[in-house]
Structure 1
Amino acid sequence: MARDGSGGQFEVPCHDEESGWFDASSSCYWRLLDPQPPAEDPVWAGRAPGEGAVYNGQCPGQPLGGGFRWFQNPPPGYGGGPDLEALAEEAVTKMRLLGADIGIAPKQDSTGTVGIPVWVWNGPGPRTTGPTSASATALGVTVTATATVQNVVWNFGNGSIVSCPFPGTPYSPSAGLNPPSTTRGQCGIPGYSRVGEYTVTATTTWAVHWAGGGRQGDLTTTRSSQVPVRIGELQVVGQ
């Protein structure tokens, strides 16, 4: 299925003798140039011939699409095989990746205090921190993907945003009123400045590496989770 310039769809054959093999992700046909362009051709962008290859693209319904393009690996669907990138995406779906399993101090069912540090962390597990793997197969070709959390961006709902490339450390009473320190593998903020109810949102970026069918590649995907936090003022008895 190809897309025209207006976003409409129309059917095209998977292979054309003149144009080559169809790639659904770009809606273009790609044909390996034979012979390949000389080493000084700008299409190589400084790469040496033999490092990947140059293909000629023709894109039905896209007047400005196509042309000569360098690819490290053959375009998806080239040679009549399965779309390896689509198989990688299918493998990611099978993993059922989640957002952070949020731990927070103060606890969700309690009330924190203005100016007191807030600690957050991501509970470890195959679907929350990784690594975790899954495979997908089509036309006798198997692609295996492995996902690992790259980082978690914590939005505390008050304008404070912290990025942590690690799960974080659960709060311990031994930490007292010390604020969490990213240099020590801890995540959080020094505290809220105003009374109120806030939503803490954790956006996890998963880094996925896949391999199969003689190719490999990388992709990223995100998942989010949220918890509420309630902040009050310190009440001093006797005043």
Structure 2
Amino acid sequence: MARDGSGGQFEVPCHDEESGWFDQSSSCYWRLLEPQPPAEDPVWAGHAPGDGAIYNGQCPGQPLNGGFRWWQNPPPGYGGGPNLEALAQQAVTKMRLLGADIGIAPNPGGTGTVGIPIWVWNGSSPQTTGPTSASATALGVTVTATATVQNVVWNFGNGTTVSCPFPGVPYSPAFGLTPPSKANGQCGTAGYSRVGEYTVTATTTWAVHWVGGGQQGDLTTTRTSQVPVRIGELQVVGQ
């Protein structure tokens, strides 16, 4: 199916002798440009001949789209094969990737103290930190994708965010009141300045690399998780 300029849909054949192979994701036909443009042609957009190829696109119902374009791998569906990027997405779905398995000090069921450091970490597992892999197959072609956590951004609900490309270190009483240090693979914040109830949100960015059908590629996907935290004043006893 292709889309016209007004958003409507209409059927098109998968292959056309003049236009090439149809890519549903762009709603365009793509044909390998032969011969390829010279190396100095700006259509290469900084890439060298041999690093991918230039294709000519024709987009039914979209007269302003199409034209010459560089592709590192052949466009999805080119040559009548399966859409490898779609297979990669299917493989990602099979992995059942999750947001961070949040560990936090103070404990979610307790109460922290104003000005006391907050420690956070991501519990390690294939679905929360990776690496983990899965495969998907169509028309005799198998794509295998491998996902690893690229980064976790921690939002502490008070305007403070911290980015940690590592799982972090669980808090230990031996750390005392020492703030977490990224240099030591620790993650967290110096603490809250006001009493209140906050929601800590962890947004995990997964980096996925896939291979199959003689091609390879990369994509990213995100997952989120949350935990509440309560902050109170320091209580002085025995004055």
- TM bucket normalised to smaller: over 0.9
Give percent identity, aligned residues only: 87
Secondary structure of the 1:87 match is helix
Corresponding residue for residue 49 of structure 1: 49
Corresponding residue for residue 110 of structure 1: 110
Please tell me the residue identity of whatever aligns with 1:95: M
**How far apart in 2 are the matches of 1:51 and 1:230?**
54
Alignment of 1:53-72 (within 5 A): 53-72=53-72
Secondary structure of the 2:60 match is coil
Corresponding residue for residue 5 of structure 2: 5
Secondary structure of the 2:89 match is helix
Please tell me the residue identity of whatever aligns with 1:54: I
Q: 2:196 matched to 1:196?
A: yes
- In structure 2, the CA distance between the partners of 1:159 and 1:73, relative to structure 1 (3 Å rule), is same
Q: 2:161 matched to 1:161?
A: yes
Corresponding residue for residue 77 of structure 2: 77
Alignment of 1:88-107 (within 5 A): 88-107=88-107
**How far apart in 1 are the matches of 2:222 and 2:231?**
29
Secondary structure of the 1:183 match is helix
The alpha carbon displacement at 1:36 in A equals: 1.8
Secondary structure of the 1:85 match is helix
The alpha carbon displacement at 1:225 in A equals: 0.1
Total equivalences in the alignment: 239
Corresponding residue for residue 124 of structure 2: 124
Corresponding residue for residue 187 of structure 1: 187
The alpha carbon displacement at 1:63 in A equals: 1.5
The alpha carbon displacement at 1:46 in A equals: 4.2
Please tell me the residue identity of whatever aligns with 1:194: R
The alpha carbon displacement at 1:17 in A equals: 1.1
Corresponding residue for residue 149 of structure 1: 149
Q: Which runs of 5+ in 2 are unaligned?
A: none
Q: 2:227 matched to 1:227?
A: yes
- In structure 2, the CA distance between the partners of 1:86 and 1:37, relative to structure 1 (3 Å rule), is same
Corresponding residue for residue 86 of structure 1: 86
Corresponding residue for residue 208 of structure 1: 208
When the two chains are superposed, the root-mean-square deviation of aligned CA atoms in Å is 1.0
* TM-score normalized by the length of structure 2: 0.97
Q: 2:164 matched to 1:170?
A: no
**How far apart in 2 are the matches of 1:109 and 1:60?**
59
**How far apart in 2 are the matches of 1:6 and 1:157?**
42
Corresponding residue for residue 25 of structure 2: 25
The alpha carbon displacement at 1:197 in A equals: 0.2
The alpha carbon displacement at 1:217 in A equals: 0.4
The alpha carbon displacement at 1:68 in A equals: 0.9
Secondary structure of the 1:174 match is helix
* TM-score normalized by the length of structure 1: 0.97
Please tell me the residue identity of whatever aligns with 2:18: E
**How far apart in 2 are the matches of 1:112 and 1:210?**
43
Secondary structure of the 2:216 match is strand
1:185-220 per-residue CA deviation (whole Å, 9 max, x = no partner) reads 001011100000000000000000000000000000
